[in-house]
Structure 1
Amino acid sequence: MKAFSAARGPKLFLDETSVLDIGGCIVNGTDIAPGRAIPDDGDPRIDHSLEGFLFTCGPDHIRHPQPIPGDQQGRKYPLHGSYSAHPAEILFWDAQGDNAECQARVAVKTAEGGEALLERHWRISGETGEVSLSDRLTNVGTVPFARVHMYHMNIGAWLFDPHVHLTGRMLEGGGFPWNFGKDPGGVFCVPAKVEGEDWAEVALGPLASLGGVTLKVKFRTDTLPHLQIWRNQKAPAHVLGIEPVSHRWVSREELAASGELQMLKPGESADYGLRFCFS
């Protein structure tokens, strides 16, 4: 892990061994990443990624494994897609002054034998403490693959008290307590795009355990038009996830049948964006 921080904002630990995702995220002296308080789905790549504050899902599949159509060996798309465990090549790194900036590229092999290039740009504003991530994904291979993408932002829920709420225009009633639904947890996915606006925002807080700050997350809705949120308090798990995502929470077959599962053809690119701050 490589430490990445600015004059203000969280101290991040970027994982060079896995897509330059975020492992630890230190806010007011506390690491809010869930660590081992996560469910074990039997995939060590995802266990490693899920321990951190943010990992990236895709580029060929999101969510749980499903069969690859027509595959003679009966293989499945892996849990949360192929990104995890692909190492990053650092191209630029400047975290010495008030601001911090990093650029990297990640060569990715997809489950179907395709090739993708993820160009990743991290920034932290020393003035506001806001973290921004800009991603460009390009199909550099010879076969198309599904253009799907999700950012998993995972927080250790032991940090929450009963006053912590989720708020956002896309949420029913504008928001509700963090421990929504029935115990020990659940998941939902809602449209987040608002006509005439390019970004959506969801907030989690106030977090008294971190000095009363609120986590505010913004994401591009042209390529991430939905928001998925999940929580799991079934021991040893104790985690909540905020997940901007490209598609509804349904099977690949249903997405394909409705025309929503668009393919990224050789030479084509897709752009994704995420920002967050603790205010």
Structure 2
Amino acid sequence: MVQLYGQFFTRQQLRERIGHESQIGGVRRLALTDGNQKDVEVIEFRTGSGLHFQVSPTRGMDIILAEYKGKAIGWRSRTGEVAPAYLETHGFIPRRGSFGGLVCTCGYSQVGNPCHDQGQEHCLHGRAQLSPATNVWAEAAWDGDEYKMWCQGKVIELDKFTEYFVNERRIETSLGANMIRIKDCLTNHSFQTQGHMMLYHINLGFPLLSGHTRLYAPSSDVRHRDKPSVDFDWTRYPLEPHTQVEDVLYHEMEADEEGYVTMALINETPGKARWGLQLRYTKESLPNFVHWFQPSPGAYVMGLEPSNCWVDGRAAHRERGELVMLEPGEQHHYEVEFKILDGEEEITSTLEKLKQVEMFEKLK
């Protein structure tokens, strides 16, 4: 059944009350037309619960915008969704079109600092975010009493002779839901063993992110990217934006009995109802976790980044023997799920479940 406005409806009951499902929510395809956003395609989702988000097939099938009941969840940069034709894949140049968004995919052959590896140049965070999808399909349809919404497409990273990665991405939700699920199936279609790096750059911003926001996460170990100790409370964020050098932390997250890592970012502003975002993913496929702090004016953003690598760049990973290798035809499956936490009952239930992971107790 569909839960909307505090009630439950069967398919028949809801259809009797509306002219078309798009009156409540749905999926539609749009195109941006202004400036260097020209030719960027957008797939817009509205679930009717207050959850609204946009996916861009032009930019790697990433989630470029997300909000709940008019409140932003993801951070967006000043660049906007620059079309790939206006960008180059050299060094740090991709920053000129780094839109932020709820999810920006980094990979598939490179994540992190620009580098040269075995004679090839690799730009900041790789080319997945700059690769338009093919075979794009967006749909909404009844399945019994559930009105499902989804989009899918293939994002391909290749060159003439070596790399040939195909990522089949599907993004799902449903009418009345406050959840987004990303399912990726990445295949090495080349005839050579290929190094593979994958990171979900999840960018949280104001008003979800504030000095009264706390991250509840099952971290058993944490260190700086470039030094061993962490000398601040990583569960909190600065109250006011201020200029500082970014902080990048590396965590060891503990999975639950089902193999999932679950964490929650909760806005606990005094005098207001708590609300937040739950993130859930599989530890086996995404064993690493990068935590990015950038509280500067105009860049008041925190990154939660499950990954199969760190952000030191492909060359450093190969040198340390940490580069994940995919054999010809080998597939890796990834799943990342977001859930809006709205109301004390949902938040309390989520935090109680988090306590089932032993390391969570260290945060108290």
TM-score (structure 2 length as normaliser): 0.66
- Partner-residue secondary structure (3-state), 2:291: strand
CA 1:106 to 1:211, structure 2 compared with 1: closer, same or farther past 3 Å? farther
When the two structures are aligned, how many residues end up with a matched partner? Answer: 272
Partner of 2:260: 199
Q: Which runs of 4+ in 1 moved over 6 A?
A: 172-175
Contact 1:57–1:80 (CA under 8 A) maintained in structure 2: yes
Deviation of residue 44 (structure 1)? 5.0
Q: Select the residue among 125, 132, 140 that pairs with 1:80.
A: 125
Deviation of residue 30 (structure 1)? 2.6
Question: Higher helix share goes to which structure?
Answer: 2
Question: Looking at CA atoms only, which structure, 1 or 2, has the larger radius of gyration?
Answer: 2
* Structure 2 residue identity aligned to 1:27: Y
- Partner-residue secondary structure (3-state), 1:76: strand
Partner of 2:202: 153
* Structure 2 residue identity aligned to 1:199: Y
Q: Select the residue among 97, 103, 106 that pairs with 1:54.
A: 103
Deviation of residue 252 (structure 1)? 4.1
Query: In the TM superposition, what whole-angstrom CA distance separates every residue of 1:49-71 from its partner, at most 9, and x where no partner exists?
Result: 443221101110111111122x1
Instruction: Tell me whether 1:166 sits opposite 2:215 in the alignment.
Output: yes
CA distance in structure 1 between the partners assigned to 2:127 and 2:238 by the alignment: 30
* Structure 1 residue identity aligned to 2:137: F
CA 1:196 to 1:107, structure 2 compared with 1: closer, same or farther past 3 Å? same
Structure 1 segment 1-279 matched on structure 2, within 5 A: 1-8=42-49, 10-36=51-77, 43-69=92-118, 71=119, 75-95=120-140, 98-109=147-158, 113-126=162-175, 128-157=177-206, 159-170=208-219, 176-179=235-238, 184=244, 185-194=246-255, 196-206=257-267, 208=269, 212-250=274-312, 252-253=314-315, 255-279=317-341
CA 1:236 to 1:61, structure 2 compared with 1: closer, same or farther past 3 Å? same
- Partner-residue secondary structure (3-state), 2:117: coil
Contact 2:73–2:204 (CA under 8 A) maintained in structure 1: yes
For structure 1, the residue ranges without an aligned partner over 5 or more in a row are none
The percentage of counterpart residues that share the same residue type is 22
- Partner-residue secondary structure (3-state), 2:178: coil
Contact 2:148–2:175 (CA under 8 A) maintained in structure 1: yes
CA distance in structure 1 between the partners assigned to 2:189 and 2:104 by the alignment: 22
Deviation of residue 245 (structure 1)? 1.0
Deviation of residue 91 (structure 1)? 4.2
CA distance in structure 2 between the partners assigned to 1:213 and 1:130 by the alignment: 14
CA distance in structure 1 between the partners assigned to 2:297 and 2:162 by the alignment: 37
- Partner-residue secondary structure (3-state), 1:204: strand
> What is the CA RMSD across the aligned residues, in angstroms?
3.1
Deviation of residue 228 (structure 1)? 1.0
More relative contact order, 1 or 2 (CA 8 Å, 6+ apart)? 1
CA 1:112 to 1:52, structure 2 compared with 1: closer, same or farther past 3 Å? farther
CA distance in structure 1 between the partners assigned to 2:220 and 2:265 by the alignment: 12
TM-score (structure 1 length as normaliser): 0.84
Contact 1:103–1:122 (CA under 8 A) maintained in structure 2: yes
CA distance in structure 2 between the partners assigned to 1:146 and 1:62 by the alignment: 11
Contact 2:112–2:312 (CA under 8 A) maintained in structure 1: no
* Structure 2 residue identity aligned to 1:83: A
Contact 1:160–1:207 (CA under 8 A) maintained in structure 2: no
Query: In the TM superposition, what whole-angstrom CA distance separates every residue of 1:241-268 from its partner, at most 9, and x where no partner exists?
Result: 1111112455545533554312112211
The answer to which of 225-234 and 242-251 deviates more is 242-251
CA distance in structure 2 between the partners assigned to 1:271 and 1:156 by the alignment: 28
The answer to which of 267-276 and 226-235 deviates more is 226-235
* Structure 2 residue identity aligned to 1:177: R
